[in-house]
Amino acid sequence: MHICIYNEHVHSNTSSIPRRLERFNLSRELRFIKSLYRDVMPDAWKAMRRLLQETHLSIELGDIVHLNGSWYVRHSGLLRLANRRHCAGIHTEPILSSCEPSKNRWVFAATVFRSTKCRGFAGHGDADPSNVSPFLLGNEMRIAETRAVNRALRKAYGIGICSIEEIGSAAPQPNCYFPR
């Protein structure tokens, strides 16, 4: 099984995003962080400011969440970043020699191509019932693929924080703002 997604640089319809959020505004994002997360340490604040400046990820749109004192990027934020940067493609495939479908154990490899001439950035993801939320049991294959894609996207675009989908079931649900 091979899954390939290639971006044809089609402009997406942003009608579901409120007009005030269509354009990135660093000061609005920083004000939003201050209003929502008052306990952010100065070093984490500086790191987040730098990340937002470089990537234009949005806290307000839910691209990044704060959980237990750490920042995490979300899958949707990584995909929006890849689209903005005109990602040429994402290729995923299961590593069948490491998978045990009867036990819902899956391992995927993903490769992100930033351009048509790029050799690719690889990432691997795994999932099994021991590292998946009880609410998502039975979806281990999709979770493993998402984790692999997230790791490859983070490498391709220099995102130095982990994605929320990569942490296991032991992590509590984030107490954060999710846009409607």
In degrees to the nearest 10, what's the CA dihedral of 19, 23, 25, 30?
70
Q: Is the pLDDT of residue 175 over 60?
A: no
Separation between Cα atoms, residue 94 and residue 84, nearest integer Å:
27
For residue range 5-63, what is the model confidence (pLDDT) as tens digits?
444 433 344 445 554 555 778 888 888 888 877 777 778 778 888 888 888 898 888 89
Average pLDDT estimate for 152-160: 95
Q: Is the model more confident about 160 or about 39?
A: 160
**pLDDT, mean over the chain:** 83
- Can you give the pTM of this predicted structure? 0.79
* Structure-token pair, residue 5: 């997604």
Domain ranges of the chain: 3-8+22-166
Q: Would the pLDDT of 180 be above 70?
A: no
